[in-house]
């Protein structure tokens, strides 16, 4: 949805836009089968994971369908080497958005996400990029510092990211998430109508977190609402689960919700776009910098 919003915004400005369909091995969609080797333990692990793998494959199909319908993609590039050998022709490259420079993930040290391809004459900018953490992994500091040299302009989405850039000797500016580039009326164009006319608290939870469950149940009782859930698995306490749904349903569910409870940055952002009351619960993995920074900045406006 970040990609969709930035594409739409650039097109409104009169630009021709293509999105680089970059799919290195660690970023490809989930698969049902793989060769686990000859270890019985690995084979047992594979078979135990099949239900979750089937679920993830099916969920991924909704997002692939959305991309094919709404996002103008280049040919698929499977590695940085392919990008370097046959780079997309453009007047400008944009890197963004979200956790592209999160050095706790493989993409954070992938030259592809630092636009290490194409002619040096092509302008390069980041748009609302995120390191997602308050500090770069120490072993990645030299890599990040060297690869940021390529950029003519750097915008990031967190105050903490400005400090990281300053420590590395770079200047950056704050830029809100690209989904804010579109109005609620423009997001309505993809909303599929799910939840319309219903009263429910929407929970968007990556982790089936017990803390969130307690918050949601309390609000649902207070508001006399049902509980709807958008999660990787069914939540036993939800009246309706939307495991197999794409962006069109997600946007619609937030738009029509009475209240939103989430540990997701974009669950929070879309509640803000649609002016739906919301409550944020920290993620247990600690990647909460983006949400904290966003809420602190908007609370001052």
What are the pLDDT digits (tens) for 139-148? 999 999 999 9
Tokens of 59: 């969920």
Backbone φ, ψ for residue 241 (5° rounding): -115, 140
Residues 7 and 119 in one domain: yes
Pair 153, 126: CB distance under 8 Å: yes
Backbone φ, ψ for residue 162 (5° rounding): -60, -40
Residues 236 and 96 in one domain: no
Question: The CATH number of the domain where 215 resides is what?
Answer: 3.40.50.2000
CA distance 270 to 188: 12
- Of 181, 201, 216, the position where a domain reaches its end is 181
Residues 196 and 252 in one domain: yes
Residues 82 and 13 in one domain: yes
Lowest mean pLDDT among 48-62, 76-90, 98-112, 168-182: 48-62
- Of 134, 150, 181, the position where a domain reaches its end is 181
Instruction: Report the percent of the chain where pLDDT is more than 70.
Output: 86
What are the pLDDT digits (tens) for 6-15? 999 999 999 9
CA distance 267 to 63: 17
CA distance 292 to 301: 15
What are the pLDDT digits (tens) for 199-243? 999 999 877 778 899 999 999 999 999 999 998 888 999 999 998
Instruction: Look at the chain and report how many structural domains it folds into.
Output: 2
Residues 274 and 152 in one domain: no
3-state DSSP call for residue 279? strand
Residues 131 and 16 in one domain: yes
What is the span of the domain harbouring residue 78? 2-29+71-181
Residues 109 and 245 in one domain: no
Pair 179, 266: CB distance under 8 Å: yes
Q: Is residue 61 part of a domain?
A: no
Residues 221 and 167 in one domain: no
What are the pLDDT digits (tens) for 242-259? 988 899 999 999 999 999
- Of 130, 160, 181, the position where a domain reaches its end is 181
Lowest mean pLDDT among 36-50, 122-136, 264-278, 287-301: 36-50
């Amino acid at each position: 949805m970040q990609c969709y919003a930035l594409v739409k915004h650039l097109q409104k400005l009169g630009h021709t836009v293509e999105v680089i369909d970059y799919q290195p091995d660690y970023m490809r969609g989930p698969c049902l089968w793989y060769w686990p080797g000859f270890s019985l333990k690995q084979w047992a692990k594979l078979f135990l994971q099949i239900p979750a793998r089937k679920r993830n494959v099916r969920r991924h199909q909704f997002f692939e369908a959305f991309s094919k319908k709404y996002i103008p993609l280049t040919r698929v590039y499977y590695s940085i080497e392919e990008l370097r050998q046959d780079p997309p022709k453009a007047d400008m490259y944009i890197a963004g958005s979200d956790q592209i420079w999160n050095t706790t993930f493989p993409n954070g040290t992938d030259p592809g996400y630092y636009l290490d391809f194409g002619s040096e004459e092509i302008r390069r900018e980041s748009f609302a990029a995120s390191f997602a953490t308050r500090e770069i992994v120490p072993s990645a500091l030299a890599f990040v510092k060297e690869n940021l040299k390529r950029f003519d302009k750097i915008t990031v989405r967190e105050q903490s990211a400005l400090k990281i850039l300053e420590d590395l000797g770079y200047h950056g500016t704050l830029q809100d998430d690209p989904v804010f580039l579109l109005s609620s009326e423009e997001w309505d164009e993809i909303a599929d109508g799910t939840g319309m006319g219903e009263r429910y608290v929407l929970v968007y939870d990556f982790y089936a977190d017990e803390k969130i469950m307690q918050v949601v149940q309390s609000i649902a009782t207070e508001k006399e609402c049902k509980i709807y859930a958008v999660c990787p698995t069914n939540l036993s306490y939800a009246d309706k689960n939307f495991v197999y749904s794409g962006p069109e349903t997600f946007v619609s569910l937030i738009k029509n919700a009475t209240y939103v409870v989430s540990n997701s940055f974009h669950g929070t952002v879309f509640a803000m776009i649609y002016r739906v009351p919301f409550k944020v619960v920290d993620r247990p993995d600690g990647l909460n910098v983006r949400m904290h920074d966003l809420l602190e900045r908007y609370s001052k406006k």
